[in-house]
Amino acid sequence: MDNTEVIYEGKAKKIYPSTKPAFWIQEFKDDATAFNGKKKGQISNKGEINNKISSRLFQYLDSHQVPTHFVKRTAPNAMEIKKLQMFKLEVIVRNIAAGSYLKRENVEEGTVLNPPILEYCLKDDDLGDPFISETEIFDQELATDDQLDKIRRNTLKVNVLLKDFFSRRNLKLVDFKLEWGLDAKKDVVLGDEISPDTCRFWDATTNEKLDKDRFRQNMGGVENAYEEVLKRVF
Ligand code: TMP
Ligand code: ASP
């Protein structure tokens, strides 16, 4: 697509106008970053794979009464989405201890977290997406009480639905990050993406890592892991 038209460019995606005023086009890049952009690289075919995985998961959630921004896939690496006004929040759910959780808690990787842990981070690259509490969210007027309640309840519903979806595909949903926004009617709607960039998936039999941790930790086999998740999702 023509770069001059870009509305927004993030580390892994670009947003373009759509021909329809209520929609945008979300394009997935092959670029990969980690540690707040300090590590940079490319994962070949990632844009297409993440677009396909996200499309499938958004359709699955929509069919289970979780509203998402997904409209339709428009290209191998792009989807049409509803325009949302995004909350400046990253909402993380942890079912199994991994990643940054291990740096703050004295638990072993793989420990089951029951009930699952829900965390909020402020979406701010300059600050390194720090933790933010519910009261800080209200103080900074990042969301109202009612909006945060919907975000919390819908995020936990997504967790139940996706855990089941992936367990039927012999994958453990270790943890994931969601981003929510408001549509034209001010309803809380799921935006962004759901992919091996934003989730941790482990093979349920072998615990093999099948997500971006392979890139973060220089484990090799990154492309194969993304392909494997795509294969299992469809
Ligand atoms: P963390 O263990 O590094 O905090 O990550 C928790 C989950 O959130 C993991 O599934 C990866 C995802 N995530 C993102 O999608 N974007 C980010 O910038 C970070 C730090 C994590
Ligand atoms: N996407 C994030 C970044 O570069 C971090 C991550 O996924 O680990 O900054």
Same domain? 74 vs 33: yes
* 142 shares its domain with 37: no
- For 6, the token pair is 């870009």
Q: How far is CA 109 from CA 99, 101, 216, in A?
A: 8, 9, 16
User: Are residue 91 and residue 148 in the same domain, yes or no?
Assistant: yes
Rounded to two decimals, the pTM is 0.98
Whole-number percent of the chain with pLDDT over 70:
98
146 and 214 together in one domain? yes
* Residue 180 sits in the same domain as residue 215: yes
Question: What does the alpha-carbon distance between residue 48 and residue 45 come to, in Å, rounded to a whole number?
Answer: 6
Task: Please write the tens of the pLDDT for every residue from 121-169.
Answer: 999 999 999 999 999 999 999 999 999 999 999 999 999 999 999 999 9
Q: Which atom of ligand 1 is nearest to the CA of 101?
A: 2
How many domains does the chain contain in total?
Answer: 2
Q: How many CB atoms lie within 10 A of CB 24?
A: 21
Are 12 and 106 in a shared domain?
no
Q: Look up the CATH number of the domain holding residue 65.
A: 3.30.200.20
Same domain, 197 and 151: yes
Phi and psi at residue 181, to the nearest 5°: -150, 180
Average of per-residue pLDDT values in the chain: 97
Are 148 and 216 contained in the same domain? yes
Quick: pLDDT tens for 3-39: 669 999 999 999 999 999 999 999 999 999 999 999 9
Instruction: Decide if 154 contacts 146 (C-beta within 8 A).
Output: no
CATH number of the domain where residue 188 is located? 3.30.470.20
Which residues constitute the domain of residue 73?
Answer: 8-82
Q: Is 228 among the domain residues? A: no
Question: What separation in Å is there between the alpha carbon of 198 and the centre of ligand 1?
Answer: 6
pLDDT of residue 4: 65
- Cis bond upstream, residue 115 (ω within 30): yes
Q: Would you say the CB of residue 33 lies under 6 angstroms from ligand 2?
A: yes
52 has a pLDDT exceeding 70 = yes
Say yes or no: 198 and 186 in one domain.
Answer: yes
Q: Which of 65, 82, 99 is the last residue of a domain?
A: 82
| Nearest ligand (C-alpha, residue 211) | 1
Cα–Cα distance for residue pair 90/194, rounded to 1 Å: 13
- Going from the Cα of 212 to the center of ligand 2, the distance in angstroms, rounded, reads 9
pLDDT digits (tens, 9 = 90+) for 165-177: 999 999 999 999 9
Asked whether residue 208 carries a pLDDT value surpassing 90, the answer given is yes
Ligand 2 centroid vs 60 CA: distance in angstroms?
25
- Can you give the pLDDT at residue 157? 99
Report pLDDT for 181: 99
Mean pLDDT of 96-104: 98
